[in-house]
Amino acid sequence: MTDLTATVPRRLPVAVDKLGVLIAAIALVASFMPFAAFRANRIVLGESKSILGALPGWEAAILILALVGCIVLALLKTPTLWRLAASLAMLALLFVAIGHAATNLTPPGDRIARVSPGGGFWLLVFAFALLAADAIARLKLMPWTRIAVLVGVAAFFAVLLASGTLNDVSVLREYFNRGETFWREAETHVALALGSLFAATIVGVPVGILCHRSDTLRAPVLNVLNIIQTIPSIALFGLLIAPLAWVAANIPGASALGISGIGAAPAMVALFGYSLLPVVANTVVGLESVPPAADDAAKGMGMTDWQRLVGVQFPLAFPVILTGIRIVLVQNIGLATIAALIGGGGFGVFVFQGVAQTAMDLVLLGAVPTVALAFAAAVVLDAIVELVSPREVPRD
């Protein structure tokens, strides 16, 4: 007898992406959460609005259809380039939608009311940002391509802000009330992060070289730096107030240089202390990773210790050292927020003012640029590390 089942085509099972299941679940839950919150002023409790309640009918329908399509795309095993394009498009649509929701919910001419993004909006942003990050990792984009993507995202937000689409969102209203203060604190924040990084690099790299060459020096230096790293940031800022106040009061010229018990000086010293361990440790590890054959070849060519260090060891160790610098910069951008507690300035000024006033929008005015700066720094320095790292030569 003929086997009839052999002639019946089998249906291929639908391939499901494992990470996509998690992303789809997060996006699905977020779709039913509040998309925006309306408040009569910046302090009172808000009235939650869903996507249907926050946007006009046709805009809400477009957003929901786009969400359904992206959720299905994330759930199934689809081409990686499609996933990246869809996630970036969805993120752009979400930010445009929250701007339109704020305009739609704010009464005409009302400058007191506040419309802020709801929990559903932030969770949707997280879900599709995760989808975009996963797609970029799978595509294994070249360093310059990753930087180009970052520049494209920054350009999109610049155009979106310049267009006024987000002007009625609560965070932007807080910015319009504090524009001059915002940029002054932004300069302070960047100065604290970069200044402490520069000082730690100037001091830490030579100390790391000494630790690499002296086993007796390495253990005590790294132990001391480890102890500093374990001290909570607020406690370290507080511990520095008394000695720096004494220095300012008793050493001529110290006060004129800006040294005082509170302000930027203790914040800079504390960030410098936190920065030393990654720089010193990575310098030691980088120098130890130099192939002995390369060093022996340099010796055979008659190079002095200094010539081997500058011409052979340091260039080969540089990618590892740069990785430590990348860690320090991202760390210091976040830690500089705490400096506001001792009068050091920075974006933490808005964060702690918002906490004291129970004004979440003011907290976001300080938190969002801090996160954006840290993310951009990580992407750029990761790309630079990859560019300067030696490429492996394929073996025949």
* pLDDT > 90? residue 96: yes
State the Cα angle at 288 between 209 and 207, rounded to 5°. Answer: 15
Beta bridge partners of 39: 114
Which of 14-18, 146-150, 237-241 is the least confident region?
237-241
All domains of the chain in start order, with CATH: 18-140 (no CATH), 179-388 (1.10.3720.10)
Question: What is the arithmetic mean of pLDDT over 376-396?
Answer: 77
The Cα-based distances of 79 to 73, 133, 327 in angstroms read 9, 15, 33
Count CB neighbours of 89 within 10 A: 15
Can you spell out the DSSP letters for 14-57? PPB-HHHHHHHHHHHHHHTS-SEEEESSSSSPPEEE-HHHHS-H
Encode pLDDT of 107-158 as tens digits.
Answer: 887 778 888 898 999 999 999 999 999 998 898 888 888 899 899 999 999 9
Report the share of the chain in percent with pLDDT over 70: 90
* pLDDT tens digit sequence for 50-71: 999 999 989 999 999 999 999 9
Q: How confident is the model at residue 7 (pLDDT cuts 50, 70, 90)?
A: low
pLDDT of residue 1: 46
User: What's this model's pTM, rounded to 2 decimal places?
Assistant: 0.84
